[in-house]
Amino acid sequence: MSRYLFGLGRLVARRRWWVLAVWVVLLAGAIGFAVGTGGKTTDNFTVPGTESQDAVSLLQQRMPAFSGAKMQVVFATPGMAEVTDSQPNAQIEQVLAGFKGLPQVAAVVDPFQAKAVSPDQRVALGSVQFSVPAGEVTEETLDEVDRIAEPARDAGLEVEFSGAVYPGFTAEVPETPEIFGIAAAFVILLITFGAVVAAGLPIVTALIGVGIGLTGILGVASFVDVPAAATSLALMLGLSCGIDYALFILSRHRHNIVLGIPAAESIPLAVGTAGSSVVFAAVTVIIALCGLSVAGIPFLTVMGLTAAGAVLVAMLVALTLLPALLGFAGGTVARFISPPLHPGRPEEVARIAAHEPERTVGHAWGRFVTRFRIPLLVLGIAVLVVSAAPVTRIHLGLPSGESQPESSTAHKAYELVSRSFGPGFNGPLLVVTDLSRATSPDAAQTVMSRLRQEPNVAAVQPAGASDGLLLIQVVPKTGPDDTATADLVTRLRDDRAGIVNGTAATYLIGGTTAANIDTSSRLADALPVFLAVVVGLALVLLTIAFRTVLVPLSSIVGFILSVFAALGAQVAVFQWGWGATLFDVTKAQTLSFLPIIILAIIFGLSSDYQIFVVSRIKEERSRTPNAIASVQNGVAQSARVVTAAALIMFAVFVAFTTVDNPVVKPLAFTLAIGVLLDAFIVRLTLVPAVMALIGNRMWYHPRWFARYVPDLDIEGAELEHRYIQGTEAEVRQAVTE
């Protein structure tokens, strides 16, 4: 692989103007595609094959007006006033009358007619039934909902919204995290390289890649449903991977420059060596993200594919645009800054790393790890196991009003309803009952009577009827995120025969709460399968990469430890509320799709760091048979760049934890912790310690490996050896042979 990438690097460096022009055209085309198609993300999720989705399909066929999203409207009076007083009553009726005239509104439930008034007469609970799914309710309609409620608020009445859709339910992710992440990355790169041009190039190339990736996703969103969280995930991965991939190639190029290799020769050599690792690392991330389709859930598949697309663009930019820009930059990548407090220090550090690596901090760390390998193994594994312990208490679910920020209208509505009516009124179940073949006129009353007798049921009432269908609203005593509510849904489905016995009626359990429960169940069932696929994939890919058995096994064990430790930290903070004030977290259940996404991404990123660290150790082993020395030298050559890459990833992910979004915040937090643990504890500590402990036996492989497992030379050792030992003509011959 390295010789082909060498040829690619030499070609793009020589044809840099053409390469730059192509990427500028691609960026302009992607922007034009997004603007021309007018694509927008949506939160219109479906989970085929579940009972809740079957209920939606039945409603779409026979009661289309009730197949759409539902919004709850909570009215609360200030002080000692009651909602039944003349003035609050008139204001509520005026608001509800305004809702009835809005487009996409199929029905409005008056709380006074439905007797949905709290016992203290201070809170009234109404609802709005839309004729379309949540993702299709227009912003104009939701803006009008908010505008109609404003006069009542001005008069002192509290009006809050919750449900599947409401004003502000799709909060836009601000640009602040991107700016913070980019600024932090630039500072880290400036410290790493000690040169402004070298620090700026990865930022420029990553931004171009992100621009193409995001605008392409928005363009695609006009043809398929793309969840809003997909753009945030693609942005985080595209930005962090784009900077990291460029960092790995640029650091190798700058190292060559400091050694005295001319820029024209160093660029293809850097692409041929570090570029091989970049390709392999990016491919593992892409395959893992595409593997999210194993769950069989469309919105999760789309999230995986769009994020994989962003990573693919980042890889292509690093392999082509970056070498072209390096051709323009020439020797300026080694034009060092001179800090006032330490003049000449950046250049001194770079030259020591190139000519005397045994004097670097990385080599000192390698010596420390190899000397104290057994205590570090025990301590590192203990830290990861303790961090992973909370995973045993993980509770999966999807965001509800309870998990929204406390300042949001959905959270305020949730609290008002819970205190005044009971938590179950925040997530009623919808029993879609087919009475078309009922043998008795009392069938509906019989079914509702039996539903009332079920444990954990607070209320049962009709919610609409048409074309032989009766909608029955079943209100649990527990909230939508409570495990008892999920147990109720399961029991109502298991007891179906007894509940409809003698009536010839049939029913399906649907509604937002049931749909969330079905989605969480589907994801939980898919998690072991996906983990097996990921572990199997890691074994195959890393075996091909290193042509040995023990290296892949150590990588897999480290990956499992780091990913479960990251999930454990997420459970402790977001479920249990440890440090909730510090992280500005609202306690809630773990997102049902978070573990499977974290498994995919951490697998890819851990493979990245494994490849960059172990490939340098393998490269050093080709120079010396001493296992300890090869580990120390390999860590010395990789520690600085892997540290910078991990800190950049960490900074980008941490920046997104400031977003008040119940999907983005826990995802970014878990990724940040996962990257930190995997890079510093697993890849730079445990893996070198294991390799030092096992010694040369770490590289054992059966004889048949040489025949059946290809040697991809991902570390580029053969190419680099040919260059150092031979001439440019020999390198050219190696590329073409």
**Structure letter (DSSP) for residue 128:** E
CB 731 within 8 A of CB 281: no
What is the pLDDT, as a whole number, of residue 264? Answer: 86
- Decide which of 669 and 582 is more confident: 669
Q: Among 37-46, 247-256, 610-619, 650-659, whose mean pLDDT is lowest?
A: 37-46
How high is the pLDDT of residue 102?
92
Rounded to the nearest angstrom, the gap between the alpha carbon of residue 440 and the centroid of all alpha carbons in its chain is 52
CB 105 within 8 A of CB 130: yes
Q: Are 202 and 250 in contact (CB under 8 A)?
A: yes
Cα(66)–Cα(68) distance, integer angstroms: 6
Cβ-in-10-Å burial (0-12, 13-18, 19+) of 81 comes to: middle
Alpha helices in 155-175 (DSSP H): none
Tokens of 214: 């995001």
pLDDT single digits (tens) 30-65: 999 888 887 777 766 677 888 998 998 898 888 888
Mean pLDDT across the chain: 86
Q: What is the rounded average pLDDT of the residues 512-521?
A: 88
- DSSP label at 165? S
End-to-end CA distance of the chain: 13
All residues at 6 or more sequence positions from 97 whose CB lies less than 8 Å from its CB, including other chains: none
Contacts of 708 (CB under 8 A, 6+ apart): none
Average pLDDT over residues 655-667: 84
Residue 528's pLDDT band, with cuts at 50, 70 and 90, is confident
- From CA 199, how far away is CA 262, in angstroms rounded? 20
Closest CA to 627 of 572, 574, 692, 565: 692
Q: Is 30 helix (H, G, I), strand (E, B) or coil?
A: helix
Across the range 524-548, mean pLDDT stands at 80
Using an 8 Å Cβ cutoff, are 411 and 401 in contact?
yes
Tell me how far the alpha carbon of residue 665 is from its chain's centroid: 10
State yes or no: pLDDT of 592 exceeds 60. Answer: yes
- According to the model, what pLDDT value does residue 724 have? 58
Mean pLDDT of 408-412: 90
pLDDT tens for 716-725 read 556 666 665 5
Find the helix or strand (DSSP H, E) in which 461 lies: strand 457-466
Rounded mean pLDDT of 295-304?
A: 84
Query: What pLDDT score does 602 carry?
Result: 86
What is the structure's pLDDT at 715? 56
127-136, 141-150, 339-348, 677-686: range with lowest mean pLDDT: 339-348
Q: Are 666 and 399 in contact (CB under 8 A)?
A: no
Closest CA to 19 of 289, 413, 317, 233: 317
Q: pLDDT tens across 238-291, in order?
A: 888 888 899 889 988 888 888 888 888 889 888 888 888 888 888 888 888 888
Predicted pLDDT of residue 175: 67
pLDDT of amino acid 330:
85
The whole-angstrom separation of Cα 582 and Cα 23 is 42
Predicted local distance difference test score (pLDDT) of residue 222: 83
Of residues 478 and 399, more confidence is placed in: 478
pLDDT at residue number 544: 77
The model's confidence at residue 172, banded by pLDDT at 50, 70 and 90, is low
| Average pLDDT of the residues in 376-385 | 95
Q: Tell me how far CA of residue 481 lies from CA of 134, 228, 520, 669, in angstroms.
A: 20, 22, 11, 21
Q: Which range has the worst mean pLDDT, 187-196, 257-266, 529-538?
A: 529-538
Task: Give the helix/strand (H/E) hosting 70.
Answer: strand 70-76
Backbone phi, psi, residue 554, to 5°: -65, -35
Q: How far is CA 344 from the centre of its chain?
A: 41
pLDDT at 545 over 80: no
Backbone angles phi, psi at 108, to 5 degrees: -130, 125
Q: If you average pLDDT over residues 397-425, what whole number do you get?
A: 87
pTM (whole model) above 0.85: no
Better-predicted residue by pLDDT, 226 or 24: 24
What does the pLDDT read at residue 711? 66
The confidence score (pLDDT) of residue 717 equals: 59
CB 426 within 8 A of CB 479: yes
Supply the angle between the helices 594-621 and 687-694 in degrees, to the nearest 10.
40
Q: Is the dihedral of CA 614, 615, 618, 620 positive or negative?
A: negative
- pLDDT band per the 50, 70, 90 thresholds, residue 5: confident
Least confident window among 100-114, 668-682, 688-702:
688-702
Task: Using the predicted structure, report yes or no on whether residue 737 has a pLDDT greater than 60.
Answer: no
Q: pLDDT at position 382, please?
A: 96
| 8 A C-beta contact, residue 503 and residue 486 | no
Q: Please name the residue that has the structure tokens 């780091």.
A: 562
Angle at 427 between CA 423 and CA 429, to 5 degrees: 125
State the pLDDT confidence band at 429, using cuts at 50, 70 and 90.
very high
Residue 567 CB partners (closer than 8 Å, separation 6+): 388, 391, 394, 590, 594, 595, 598, 670
Distance CA 737, CA 732 (A): 9
d(CA 715, CA 649): 23
pLDDT at 25 over 70: yes
User: What is the distance between the alpha carbons of residues 228 and 251, in angstroms, rounded to a whole number?
Assistant: 35
CA atoms within 13 A of residue 84's CA, in its CB half-sphere: 9
- pLDDT given at position 47: 78
Average pLDDT on 315-326 reads 94
473-484 residue pLDDT tens: 999 999 888 889
pLDDT at 501 over 60: yes
CB–CB of 699/690 below 8 Å?
A: no
Task: Return the SS3 of 571.
Answer: helix
d(CA 508, CA 235) in angstroms, rounded, equals 39
pLDDT over 70 for what percent of the chain?
A: 94
Confidence bin at 368 (pLDDT 50/70/90): very high
CA 257 to chain centre: 37
How many Å is the Cα radius of gyration of the chain? 30
CB neighbour list of residue 65: distance below 8 Å, 6 or more residues apart: 106, 107, 129, 131, 466
The helix/strand/coil state of 160 is strand
Question: For the residues 681-710, what does the mean pLDDT come to?
Answer: 83
- C-alpha triplet 400, 50, 43: angle, nearest 5°: 40
**Contact in structure between 514 and 51 (CB atoms under 8 Å):** yes
- Of 27-31, 311-315, 661-665, the poorest mean pLDDT is in 661-665
Residue with the larger pLDDT of the pair 116 and 406: 116
- For the chain, give the number of residues: 737
Kindly tell me if the per-residue pLDDT of 561 is higher than 90: yes
**DSSP, residue by residue, 333-397:** GG-----SSSTTHHHHHHHHHHH-GGGSHHHHHHHHHHHTHHHHHHHHHHHHHHHHGGGGG--EE
Mean of pLDDT values over 75-96: 90
Tokens representing 56 are 């939606």
Is 161 strand, coil or helix?
A: strand
